[in-house]
Amino acid sequence: MTWRKSSRSAEDGNCVEVRGDLQALRDSKAPKAIIPVSRGALAQLVNHVR
């Protein structure tokens, strides 16, 4: 599965990544710690932080 990071992420690698199917998040510094999320929950999170 592919992972994507925000285009606004810092160059030092400190970022949150989203899995390609939009069903999980992870910290780029600890990629084995995967947080499963629903698409609806991810959409709410994105709208909240905007």
pLDDT tens-place string over residues 15-44: 889 999 999 999 988 999 999 999 999 999
- Report the predicted TM-score, pTM, of the whole model to 2 decimal places: 0.76
Q: Which two tokens stand for residue 39?
A: 């698409």
Looking at residue 48, its pLDDT comes to 94
Whether 23 contacts 3, CB under 8 Å: no
Torsion over CA: 36, 39, 40, 43 (sign) = positive
Predicted local distance difference test score (pLDDT) of residue 36: 97
Is the pLDDT score of 12 beyond 80? no
Residues β-bridged to residue 5: 17
